[in-house]
């Protein structure tokens, strides 16, 4: 194509784009003025967007970061990614992430019949944002033991609320997440109040969790399940994330088998969707990881590299740092 012809074509595209976007003329009005078909107008506008002559920007504090979403999906082989902008405070950012995660759960198709939920502050926020009727007849199973064993704690409330809003039914796990001995762990796993929700979680269509940081600020430390010294020991062994109370390294492998034998949680294999080389494993379930806050970046990156999720809902800061 000659330079003159190219210039004429660009001028036509620019003219049509200005009429459509600046003068807000319809396809039909533009077609009539320029003596062309509406189909041609549509084709020219598509060309304007394709070549970058027209760039559409959504400027709003709640607008999603589609570039980061695409990069996450392409880099880590995810099914989907939702990345929201960082807000004016950590609290507002967590709320936005939780709201988008709740929306994602409500829109899942086909709706999951069984949802396994790992407790935590983030998933508790998600439960608060689910709407009534989000998934009728859903079964919500607690995927790991809690920091307390009562129905009224953070864990029980989250699981029960998600089920009630379904409306569906809940299977709460009446045991602490880490016990004193492997023998006690084995005994508890045989109890129906523990085995029933764990078995449901193993068979869940969808697993929801928030990867936890391996730090002395974690809820497992504040609850007394792991000491500050224990955290340092775990980090020295390579632990970079707490995934449903399992401490794992960047490859998604448990770093302390003795501690893991005392952990009341669904098996890590239930969320392992890719091997160490990034190849997909024959896993029929969807695994949604939710993360907000800079302190969660290392944990999310570990979950991504370790093949421990298929989908994510995160804030932009966490998403950017996850690539580091």
DSSP-assigned states of every residue in 119-177: -SHHHHHHHHHPPTTSSTT-EEEE-B-BSS-STTSHHHHHHHHHHHHTT-EEE---SBS
Q: Which of helix, strand or coil describes residue 180?
A: coil
Considering the chain, what percentage of its residues have pLDDT values greater than 70? 90
Q: Residue 1 and residue 3: Cα distance in Å, rounded?
A: 7
Q: Which of 20-34, 47-61, 100-114, 215-229 has the lowest mean pLDDT?
A: 47-61
pLDDT digits (tens, 9 = 90+) for 84-136: 999 989 999 999 999 999 999 999 989 999 999 998 889 999 999 999 999 99
- pLDDT reported for residue 152: 45
Cβ(40)–Cβ(31) under 8 Å?
yes
Cβ(255)–Cβ(249) under 8 Å?
yes
More confident residue, 7 or 258: 258
- pLDDT reported for residue 149: 44
- pLDDT reported for residue 321: 92
Beta bridge partners of 287: 207
Question: 234: which residues sit within 8 A by CB, 6+ positions away?
Answer: 214, 226, 247, 255, 256, 259
Q: Is the pLDDT assigned to residue 172 strictly greater than 80?
A: yes
Cβ(305)–Cβ(75) under 8 Å?
no
Q: Residue 48 and residue 181: Cα distance in Å, rounded?
A: 66
3-51 is a CATH 1.10.10.10 domain = yes
- pLDDT reported for residue 81: 95
- pLDDT reported for residue 136: 96
- pLDDT reported for residue 59: 59
- Report CA Rg, the chain: 24
Q: Is the pLDDT assigned to residue 6 strictly greater than 50?
A: yes
Q: Please compute the mean of the pLDDT values over residues 60-87 and round it to a whole number.
A: 86
Cβ(139)–Cβ(112) under 8 Å?
no
More confident residue, 70 or 150: 70
Instruction: State the DSSP code for 251.
Output: T
Burial class (CB in 10 A: 0-12, 13-18, 19+), 322: buried
Q: Residue 112 and residue 216: Cα distance in Å, rounded?
A: 35
Domain boundaries, the chain: 3-51, 66-322
Considering the chain, what percentage of its residues have pLDDT values greater than 90? 69
CATH topology of domain 66-322: Rossmann fold (3.40.50)
pLDDT digits (tens, 9 = 90+) for 196-230: 999 999 999 999 999 999 999 888 888 888 999 99
Beta bridge partners of 254: 248
pLDDT digits (tens, 9 = 90+) for 279-304: 555 555 799 999 999 999 999 999 99
pTM for the whole thing? 0.80
- pLDDT reported for residue 150: 41
**Nearest one of 248, 245, 244 to 301, comparing CA atoms:** 248
Q: Residue 110 and residue 113: Cα distance in Å, rounded?
A: 9
Beta bridge partners of 270: none
């Amino acid at each position: 194509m000659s330079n003159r012809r190219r210039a004429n074509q660009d001028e036509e595209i620019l003219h049509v784009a200005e009429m459509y976007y600046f003068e807000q003329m319809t396809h039909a009005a533009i077609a009539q003025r320029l003596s062309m078909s509406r189909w041609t107008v549509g084709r020219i506008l598509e060309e304007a967007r394709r070549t970058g002559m027209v760039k559409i920007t959504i400027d709003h504090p709640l607008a999603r970061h589609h570039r980061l979403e695409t990069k996450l999906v392409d880099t880590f082989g995810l099914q989907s990614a939702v990345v929201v902008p960082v807000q004016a405070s950590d609290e507002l950012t967590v709320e936005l992430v939780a709201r988008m995660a709740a929306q994602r759960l409500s829109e899942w198709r086909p709706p999951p019949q069984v949802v396994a939920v790992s407790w935590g502050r983030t998933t508790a926020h998600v439960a608060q944002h689910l709407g009534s009727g989000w998934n009728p007849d859903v079964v919500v199973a607690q995927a790991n033991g809690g920091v307390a064993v009562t129905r009224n704690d953070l864990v029980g409330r989250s699981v029960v609320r998600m089920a009630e809003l379904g409306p569906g039914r809940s299977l709460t796990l009446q045991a602490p997440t880490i016990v004193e001995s492997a023998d006690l762990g084995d005994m508890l796993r045989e109890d129906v109040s523990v085995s029933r929700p764990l078995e449901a979680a193993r068979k869940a269509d969808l697993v929801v969790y928030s990867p936890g940081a391996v730090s002395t600020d974690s809820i497992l430390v504040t609850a007394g399940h792991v000491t500050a010294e224990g955290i340092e020991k775990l980090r020295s062994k390579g632990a970079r994330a707490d995934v449903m109370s399992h401490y794992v390294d960047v490859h998604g492998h448990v770093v302390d088998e003795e501690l893991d034998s005392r952990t009341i949680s669904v098996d890590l294999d239930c969320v392992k969707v890719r091997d160490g080389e990034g190849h997909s494993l024959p896993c029929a379930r969807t695994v949604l990881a939710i993360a907000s806050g800079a302190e969660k970046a290392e944990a999310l990156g570990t979950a991504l590299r370790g093949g421990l999720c298929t989908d994510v809902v995160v804030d932009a800061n966490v998403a950017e740092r996850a690539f580091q």
